[in-house]
Structure 1
Amino acid sequence: MKADPGFYDYWPYEGRPKITWPGGAKLAFWVAPNIEYYELDPPANPQRKAWPQPHPALPGYSIRDYGNRVGHVRQMDVLEKYGVRGSVSLSTALCDHHPEIIEMCAERNWEFFSHGIYNTRYTYGMSEEQERDMIRDSMESINKHTGQHCAGYLAPALSHSEKTLDLFAEAGTELAGNDAGFYTCDLFHDDQPTPISLRSNKQFVSIPYSLEMNDTIAYVVNKIEPRRYGQMLKDNFDRLYQEGAESGTVMCIPTHNYQVSCPHRLKAFEEALEYITGHSDVWVTTGRDIARHYIDNHYESSVDDIANRREVTTDGP
């Protein structure tokens, strides 16, 4: 069994340094539309099949194509209605396959962060050099097609390795310098941003990206009906909003344009957005801005608190 990679310490929720959000908001709210590109017949990976169906996997491929053809605009209109700028978890091959989608997002000043190149090509089995090249390629594509320096990363199909965070931080610093506010969505361990320890000792943060609120997990894995998913989003918000009165929390809704944007599901999502954004003391923002604010205002105090607790645990009373 491999050792813990050591990205973060055990850090109890209670008693942490207080997080304050802009304008005195209790909760930072962001939506992460996963805008992805899937190949009908991708290169085989011995550790994971891209499709559960025999080739050609038309059902799985077609619904994802539907998302980019139809669902994307439908979701974009709803987010725009409630003043939400998407933070796009982008399969960067989309820049070549569907540049019109990239243009629509860029026109609305949405953030773009890397979700790899294709969502049918996994990190599993890659050498460190191969993964570095994939990460760098995706970041360069975002900059080339949008003018943005990529600040965030979510491994393609969540297929991260023990080196992913180190490689992303290092590539990001080379391409964008030290001030981009780098963050990961690949860790699901908290409801507040947390500092991450890397081999380079660069400032790096994990931003809450909830699998529990992810529409694919809800609809495909847990088989939840739309009205129940909408209520889950509201219930999740209510609890984090309550706790945010003491110290700022984060709520993310990760979406997919072939899930939440289906006609029979959109109403529940829209009602949840209306409910959440109807609270005046909610910071409706992006992943990049959450990371930047946390690093600028709370990173050092968090690192110090973690170190102090580690010393107490190590030294004893």
Structure 2
Amino acid sequence: MKSDPGFYDYWPYHQRPQIQWPNGAKLAFWVAPNIEFYELQPPANPYRKAWPQPAPAVPGYSIRDYGNRVGHVRQMALLEKYGVRGSVSLSTALCEHHPEIIAMCAERNWEFFSHGIYNTRYTYGMSDEQERDMIRDSIETIHRHTGQKCAGYLAPALSHSERTLDHFAEVGSELFGDEAGFYTCDLFHDDQPTPIRLRNGKRFVSVPYSLEMNDTIAYVVNKVEPRRYGQMLKDNFDRLYLEGAESGTVMCIPTHNYQVSCPHRLRAFEEALEYITGHPDVWVTTGREIAEYYLQHYFDVARTDIASKQVQAGFDNTGAKTEAQGHA
């Protein structure tokens, strides 16, 4: 029985090699708008229901439609006001359903990364071939509609198999070489980027994407009020900014255009954006740019440090205890 996912080693925050972001920034800040498409009556999945009520689930469908009709433009204008280019976690079916949204984002040089095809079709129960086909379709769709070679992945509705990261890295490499498929948002284990172990050995990194700062988790799961959510964003920033003076940290705000963009919630989000971008030494960037910078400047240093600490702790390069330690 596996004791952990196997993608990364235990690597304590304390005494890691220091990270310094461009221009000496303490913190890399990015916003990940989840721009999704939900089907009113999706194919049934035996592992998870798409809607809590019987189909047709008009309330759930229509509020998400509100996000794409109204909320997206509202959020886009706000991010533009504060100089933030979105990194879009994209349900790639949106390219066909709402190409005007894709065009607006592309005009502003936003990043697009894959969030699957529909957010009502899950990885659960898929064969390896089916998951690879879904990932390939999403990457090819992004490239066809935007010209971007998709670099990042977040599994649809956070549904994830043991091979998701392997499939994404491999399909990206098959399509576009090392220009695609090199970071994930599906691991929530750190406040700094970290190297990820894959079966094909590709240089691959996890970029922090926070569930705690995710507006859907805050509003729907934790029942947080808008004013409190805005303060949570500021508090989260303050801690990461403080620690970033020693070694660069990452803050992500994952949003949904049918959550944070509702009129009664927008002010709290704007105040948080104004607060964060008003600080010096903040690199306002995208998920791809964080991953690229880390891969170029810190990935090899990190892997060397991890390997050294694993040896000191008595583990081999697979994360297993060495024979001597195992019989201690």
Which range, TM-score by smaller chain?
A: over 0.9
Question: Does the 8 A contact of 2:151 with 2:179 survive in 1?
Answer: no
Mapped pair 1:81 → 2:81 = yes
Letter matched to residue 35 of structure 2: I
Does the alignment pair 1:39 with 2:39? yes
Alpha-carbon distance in structure 2 between the residues aligned to 1:190 and 1:4: 15
> How far apart are residue 177 of structure 1 and its match?
1.1
Give the number of aligned pairs: 317
Cα deviation code 1:82-128 (max 9, x no counterpart): 00000000000000000000000000000000000000000000000
Distance 2:65 2:180 in 1: 32
CA distance in 2, matches of 1:173, 1:309: 30
Q: Could you tell me whether the CA contact under 8 Å between 1:116 and 1:154 is conserved in 2?
A: yes
Q: In structure 1, how many angstroms separate the alpha carbons of the residues matched to 2:105 and 2:81? A: 14
Aligned equivalent of 1:224: 224
Amino acid at match of 2:88: V
CA distance in 1, matches of 2:179, 2:107: 24
Matches within 5 A, 1:68-107: 68-107=68-107
Gaps of 5+ in 2: 315-323
Q: Is the 8 A contact 1:184 1:205 kept in 2?
A: yes
How far apart, CA to CA, are the structure 2 residues paired with 1:4 and 1:13? Answer: 18
Structure 1 residue 175: Cα displacement? 1.4
Structure 1 residue 179, shift from structure 2 partner = 3.8
CA distance in 2, matches of 1:178, 1:58: 42
Q: Which residue of 1 aligns with 2:270?
A: 270
Q: Aligned equivalents of 1:235 and 1:92: distance in 2?
A: 33
Normalising by structure 1, we get a TM-score of 0.98
| Identity within the alignment, % | 81
Partner deviation per Cα, 1:222-278 (whole Å, 9 max, x = no partner): 000000000000000000000000000000000000000000000000000000000
Matched residue type, 2:211: L
**Equivalent residue number for residue 58 of structure 1:** 58
The one-character-per-residue Cα deviations of 1:30-89 (angstroms, maximum 9, x if unpaired) are 000000000000000000000001111111101000000000000000000000000000
Question: Aligned residue for 1:303?
Answer: 303
The alpha-carbon distance between structure 1 residues 286 and 259, as it changes in their structure 2 partners (threshold 3 A), is same
**Structure 1 position 4, deviation (Å):** 3.0
Q: Determine if contact 1:181/1:291 at 8 Å carries over to the other structure.
A: no
Q: Structure 1 stretch 257-266 or stretch 173-182: which is displaced more?
A: 173-182
Is residue 2:306 matched to residue 1:312? Answer: no
Alpha-carbon distance in 2 for matches of 1:264, 1:3? 44
Aligned with 2:178: secondary structure?
A: coil
Match of 2:127 in 1: 127
For residues 271 and 181 of structure 2, the distance between their equivalents in structure 1, rounded to whole angstroms, comes to: 32
Q: Distance in 2 between matches of 1:46 and 1:178?
A: 36
Distance 1:136 1:181, change over 3 A: closer
Q: Structure 2 counterpart of 1:119, which letter? A: N
Quick check: 2:149–2:179 contact (8 Å CA) kept in 1?
no
Hey, what does 1:116 align to over in structure 2?
116
Rounded Cα–Cα distance in structure 2 between residues aligned with 1:179 and 1:311: 32
CA–CA distance in 2 between the matches of 1:64 and 1:180?
29
Contact 1:181 1:288 in 2 (8 A): no
CA RMSD of aligned residues (A): 1.2
Contact 1:92 1:142 in 2 (8 A): yes
SS at match of 2:31: strand
1:140-155 alignment, distance < 5 Å: 140-155=140-155
Tell me the distance in 1 between the aligned counterparts of 2:13 and 2:96: 43
- Structure 1 contact 188–210 (Cα < 8 Å) conserved: yes
- How many angstroms does 1:280 deviate by? 1.9
Residues 118-127 or 169-178, more deviating: 169-178
Residue 2 of structure 1 and its aligned partner are, at CA, apart by 4.3
Q: Which residue of 2 aligns with 1:293?
A: 293
SS at match of 1:95: helix
| 1:169–1:181 Cα change, 3 Å | closer
Q: Kindly indicate whether the alpha-carbon contact (under 8 Å) linking 2:87 and 2:110 is maintained by their aligned counterparts in 1.
A: yes
Question: Deviations 1:196-224 (Å, cap 9, x if unpaired)?
Answer: 00000100000000000000000000000
CA distance in structure 1 between the partners assigned to 2:286 and 2:119 by the alignment: 22
Partners of 1:100 and 1:313 lie apart in 2 by: 54
Measure the CA separation in 2 of the matches of 1:42 and 1:138. Answer: 18
Q: Structure 2 CA distance, aligned partners of 1:167 and 1:302?
A: 24
Letter matched to residue 160 of structure 1: H
SS in 2 for 1:253: strand
User: Which deviations, in whole Å up to 9, do the C-alpha atoms of 1:152-187 show, x marking residues without a partner?
Assistant: 000000001000000000011111211447100000
> Structure 2 matches for 1:194-233, cutoff 5 A?
194-233=194-233
Alpha-carbon distance, 1:5 to partner:
3.5
Distance 1:63 1:290 in 2: 32
Please state whether the residue corresponding to 1:178 is helix, strand or coil: helix
